[in-house]
Chains A and B, each alone.
Chain A
Amino acid sequence: MKKLNFTWKIWMLIIILLISLVSIFGLPPRFLDKGILITSVDQNSTAFNEGLRKGQIIISIDGKKVNNIEDYSNIITEKLPSEEKIRLNIQTKDTQIILFTNTSPEISVSNLPKTNIKTGLDITGGSRALVQAKDVQLNSDELNDLVDITRNRINVYGISDVKVLPVSDLSGNNYMLVEVAGATPKDLKDLISQQGKFEAKIGNETVFIGGKRDIQSVCSSPTCSRISSCDASSNNNNFCSFEFVIYLSEEAAQRHASITKNLGINETASGISGRYLDKPLDLYLDGQLVDSLLISEGLRGSVTTQIQISGSGNGPTRQDAYVNAQDSMKQLQTILKTGSLPFELEIIKLDTVSPVLGDDFIKIIILAGFAALIPVALVVFVRYRKIKISLALLLTSFSEIIIILGIASFISWNLDLLSIAGILATIGTGIDQQIIILDESKQGANLSIKQKMKRALVIIMGAFFTGIASLIPLWWAGAGLLKGFVFTTIIGITTGILITRPAFTDIVKKIEG
C-alpha cells in the first residue's frame, strides 16, 4: 500500500471536513436516533405536571416503540380519548413518565431532525414581522426597550421558539424583527403591534395604568381568574364574561381612595344586590372602552389594593365566545403585567409561510445542486482529460459545501433561500479559482510549481478581496433580511481562501508531480 504522503494543508482540509461532518450530523450521528421530539407542552396540563417538557425525546409508549409521528398517533388514537382515565407509560430518552388521563397528552411532537442544519422561515415555514414605530424614529435605547417589552409579552403569553431582535439598516432606520418558527400563533399580529396602553379611569381621572408601577401583580391562576358566565344574547350571538384579580401598588390604591371619596350613589343601578357609586371604573385598552365596572358602595374612599377586573368575549356559538373571552382575558393580563409602550406601532412587513412546501423545497434544491455539478464534471473532464484532477476538483468543491454547512450548523444559522443562493455562488467561484490554479500549474515551463502556485494565488486573492468588498454593504441593506446571503458567501469564500484552495494547490502539486 502506498504511504499517505499528505502535506499539512491537505491534512488540515481533512480534519476540518471531519469536524464539519460532526457539526452537521452530531456525534453519534443524529439520524441513528430513534424516537420523536416534543416541540411544546401546554402549561397547566397533566402532561406538564407529570414532567413532560419541550425538547424531550419519546422512545416508546406502553412498551411499543415510537420511531416517527405516525407511530405516535397510531398508539394514541388507539387508546384515547377514552371514557375512563387510563395509565400511559411514556418512556423518554432520560426518564419514564406515567400519565393518568382520558384525553390525548397536551403536547405537540415532530419527527427527530436528521441533521443539525436549520433552515429559514421561507423554507420550513413560520412567520416574520418587521415592526416600526408610527410617525417617530426610535433611537436605539427606545428600540431596545420595545424589544424587551415585546419579549416579555411573548413570554407571558407562552409562545415558544420566538426571536425578537432590534435591526437597523444602511440609512439608520430602526426596526424590530420578530420571527416565529413553525406554527404561527393566530394573534401574533395583535401581540406585537399593540401599543397596549391600558388605563382605568373614573370619569376623567386615571386611577391606574398597566405596568409595574401601578400594578403589583396580576393573578392568572385558575383560583382567581376565570370565565365566570356565558349567555346567549340573541341568535348567533353569545357572550362569555371573564374576571380576574389584580393587586395595585400602594400609590395607585391611595389614588383610588381619593378619587372615590367624593362620589355619590347611583340610585338606578343600585338594587337588592347592593348599592353602587355614581361613576363606574372604566377600562380602556388602546383608547377603546373595554368594560365599565360598577364600584360597590363599600369601596368608597377606601385604600384597596385588590381589584377585580372583568370583561367579555363574544362569538356565534357558545364555544367561540368562550375561546374569545379566554383570549381577551389573556391579552388583558399580558398588557397589565408588561405595561404599555410610549408610541404606536405599525407592522410594515408580515410574512406567514406555510410549512407544507418545505420538504419539496429541500428536495428540489438538492436536485438543482446536482444538476449544476454535472456540467462542471463534464467540462472539467473534457478539458483536462484526467480522472484524478477532475475528481480532486469536484471533491474539493464538495468539501467546501460541507464546511459551509458545518459552520452554519455549529452556530445554528438559519439557512434561508438567499443563504442557499450564497452557497451556490461560492461553489461557482470556488470552481473557477480551482481552474485558475490548474491552468497556472501548466503555464510557464521554466517556473517551478511553487512559483506557479504563487501566481495563481495573486489572482485568487484579488478575486477574494473584490468579493468581500462588494458583499459588505449588503449586510446592512434591507433591514438585515439579506444577511443570510452575505453570511454564507463570506464564510464560503473565506473557507476557500484559507482551507480548500491551499489544500487543492497541494493536491495538484502531488498529482502533477
Chain B
Amino acid sequence: MEEETKQEIQEKTQEKVKSKKSFGEFHDKNYKLLLLIPLTLFLFSIIYEINFYNQHNDFMKKDISLTGGTTITINSEIDANTLKKELSGKLEALETREIYDILSNKQKAVILETTTNAEETRKVVEEYLGYSLTEENSSTEFTGSTLSKNFYNQLILAMIISFILMAIVIFLIFRIFVPSFAVIFSAFADIIMTLVMVNLLGMNVSSAGIVAFLMLIGYSVDTDILLTNRVLKGTEGTLNNKIYGAFKTGITMTLIAILSVVSALLIIRSFSEVLSQIFTIIFIGLMFDLLNTWVTNVSILKWYVINKQNKIK
C-alpha cells in the first residue's frame, strides 16, 4: 500500500512538473505581453485620477473626519432612512446609517453625519427626537473644518514621506536599480489602482481609510521583497523555478491575508465604520497586489534577469 501511494505521489508530481513546464513555456513567450495588462490598468488609473482631480479638485471623496462636521450616534432603534428624509432639509450634506450587533441582529444605534456644526445639529436632532441628547444615549463628535483640512494635508504628506522612505529602504536592500524600481512601481500601482477602485465604489474616505492606504504600502512590499530576494539571491534552480517557488509562498501569504480580512470585515461591517473601511481598502489593495506582484513585478524582474544573462553570454 505504501508503494502505491508513493507511485501515486510520483505520478502527481510528474503531472505537476508537466503543467508547470508548459506554463513556464507559455510564460517565457508571453511575459512581456502580460505586462500590458497591469500597464493598461495603470494608465487607465492615472487618467481616471487626473480626470477625478479636475472634477472634484481632490484625489478622493472625503468623509466628515477629513472635511469637518459633526457625527452623532444615537443609541436607539431609529430608522436611518426616515431620519434622513426628515432632517435633510435642516442639516447640510446629511448621511445616515444604522449599526447592528451581528450576533443578535438587533439594531444598536443610528449614526448621522453632517457638515453642520455640533450645537446646531444637536438642536435639530433633539427637536426631532423630542428628548435631549446625553452621553448615556448618544455620542457626538465634532471636527472643525480647518483642522480636518490640515489633518488631510498631513496624512497625504505622511503618506508621501512613508512612500519615499520605503523606496529608500528597498534600494538599500537590493542595491540594483531595475529590481528595486520594479518593487516600488508595483507598490505604487497597488495604491493608485486601489484609490481608483475606492473612487469607483463611491466611498467617502476617512482618516482611518488613509491609514489603510499606508498599511497597504507595507503589505504590498512584503511579497515583492520575497520574490526579488528569491530570484536575485537564490542559488539553485532555473529562473522559472525560483519565481514559482516565490509564487507558492507569496500566494499563500496573500490568500491568508485576503481571507482573514474578508472574514473580519463580515463581522465588523455592521458595527464599526472605521474598521470596516480599513479592511475594505486593504482587501481591494491585496487583490491588486496579486496582479502587481505576480504579473507586473515578475515580468519586469524576469526581463531584467534574462537581459543580464544574455549580456553575459
Contact = CB atoms under 8 A, between A and B. Distances in A.
A361 B225 CA distance: 36
Contacts of B225: 459, 462-463, 466
Contact of B215 (A171, A349, A425, A445): A425
Interface of B: 73, 75, 99, 101-103, 108-109, 118, 135-144, 146-147, 150-151, 153-155, 157-159, 161-163, 165-166, 168-170, 173, 207-208, 211-212, 214-215, 217-219, 221-222, 225-226, 229-230, 233-236, 245, 248-249, 252-253, 255-257, 259-264, 266-268, 271-272, 274-275, 278
A1 interface: no
A380 to B, nearest CB: 7
Given A361-B271, A446-B236, A373 B260 contact: yes
A349 B144 contact: yes
B185 to A, nearest CB: 15
Nearest to B268: A368
A458 interface: yes
B157 A350 contact: no
B169 to A, nearest CB: 5
Nearest to A352: B140
A354 B229 contact: no
A94 interface: no
Contacts, number: 233
21 contacts: A169-B150, A169-B154, A352-B139, A352-B140, A354-B138, A354-B139, A357-B108, A364-B268, A367-B103, A372-B263, A374-B263, A380-B252, A418-B274, A425-B215, A432-B256, A436-B226, A443-B230, A455-B229, A469-B169, A474-B155, A474-B162
Contacts of B143: 348-349
A289 interface: no
Given A349-B143, A364-B101, A470-B214, 16 more contacts: A170-B154, A173-B150, A346-B144, A356-B75, A357-B109, A360-B101, A361-B271, A368-B263, A368-B267, A368-B268, A380-B256, A432-B253, A443-B230, A477-B154, A478-B155, A485-B211
A465 interface: yes
Q: Could you say which of B163, B230, B262 has the most chain A C-beta atoms within 10 Å of its C-beta?
A: B230
A365 B272 CA distance: 9
A429 B218 contact: yes
A447 interface: yes
Contacts of A478: 151, 154-155, 207
B135 A417 contact: no
Interface residues of A, number: 80
A467 B222 CA distance: 9
A432 B293 CA distance: 15
B252 A435 contact: yes
A212 B168 CA distance: 55
Contacts of B102: 364, 367
Given A357-B109, A428-B257, A351 B140 contact: yes
Given A352-B140, A470-B162, A470-B218, A170 B264 contact: no
A449 interface: no
Interface string A336-366: 0000000000111111111111001101110
B153 A171 contact: yes
B158 to A, nearest CB: 4
A482 B207 contact: yes
Contacts of A470: 162-163, 165-166, 214, 217-218
Interface in A400-446: 417-418, 420-421, 424-425, 428-429, 431-433, 435-436, 439, 443-446
B278 A421 contact: yes
Contacts of A444: 234-236
